[in-house]
Amino acid sequence: MGYEFKKGGCRVILNIAIETLRSRIFKEYFWGVSLTMSIVDTIVGILAYYYVALFVQNAMERYVSAYGVSYAEYLLIGLMAGVIATFLQYSLYEGISLGYWASETDLYITSPIGLKGMLIGHMMFIALWESVILATYALAALMLGIPLHLENLPQIVLAILVASLPMIGIGLVSASDFTLFNAKRGSMTGKVFSILQRIFGGYYFPVGILPQQLHIVSYLLPHTYFYEAVRIAAFKGVWITQKPELLYPLTIQGIILLLLGVLLMKKAIDKAEETGDLSRWT
């Protein structure tokens, strides 16, 4: 028997989202030691990155001098932008996965309101957690004396909004893996892009460090333009609309990836309706 993804009232969906969020917060609070250790791990990671950045500052100088900042600043903005990119790319998949393993999909998939409220609730929790991580980065930056360039916040926000389009598309593709490829333990698409962005996307270091023959990979990745757009907005106060070499690739890649993501998600939903892949006990 097929499953039906039915429409529910906005108020009901919102109530379910809030209850799902409360449930997730309670579970994390209950496992307070794990939560605390996650934050401690983030702080230790920041300190490690900071001292590595100081160690290689001279070697990186010629690659980051065009931005007018230290390598520590360059790296910090990349790490913070990476938190946002990660949320956009993986939160929908994680929302489905959390609901599936908690057997919540079995409950909501056959209900009149469908999965929307549950997914929104889980994504709200993930957004809350990523906000904690961003706040931890910001606090660490203040303690270490690394400028956050908040005077350029409007430019940063616009850059993130535009650069988010391809990331959301990747997020839809990643989420479709759950049923299309039966990827219940992690998104194949997500893992591939996670590897590629760290090596070729300018996440840790400028792509100029890479051998010339590998630059083609960087230019094909939306992450390269994402991180560059955020960095020049932060460091130089440049609006992304003033940088067509960033605006056009992000817009084109955004349209392509969004269309692909919507198509694959539709196929994933159709498959779930036919096979019951979103039910843990099928």
The residue extents of the domains of the chain are 10-275
pLDDT higher at 103 or 187: 187
Furthest-apart CA atoms within the chain: distance in Å: 64
Residues 187-243: pLDDT tens digits? 999 999 999 999 999 999 999 999 999 999 999 999 999 999 999 999 999 999 999
109 pLDDT above the threshold of 80: no
Give ∠ CA 240-153-25 in degrees, rounded to 5.
115
Which tokens belong to 168? 């959301």
Contact 169, 254 (CB under 8 A): yes
Of the candidates 257, 263, 278, the one whose C-alpha atom is nearest the C-alpha of residue 85 is 257
- For all residues of the chain together, what is the average pLDDT? 91
130 pLDDT above the threshold of 80: yes
Instruction: Please give the C-alpha separations between residue 180 and each of 58, 168, 176, 183, in angstroms, as whole numbers.
Output: 47, 18, 6, 8
- CB contact set of 238 (below 8 Å; sequence gap of 6+): 155, 232
Give ∠ CA 70-237-214 in degrees, rounded to 5.
60
Contact 25, 122 (CB under 8 A): no
Helical spans, DSSP H, in the chain:
10-30, 32-55, 57-64, 71-101, 104-108, 116-144, 153-180, 188-200, 215-220, 222-236, 244-275
Question: What is the structure's pLDDT at 2?
Answer: 42
Phi/psi for 228 (5° steps) reads -65, -40
8 pLDDT above the threshold of 80: no
3-state SS, residue 210: coil
Confidence of residue 1 (pLDDT cuts 50, 70, 90): very low
Confidence of residue 83 (pLDDT cuts 50, 70, 90): very high
End-to-end CA, the chain: 11
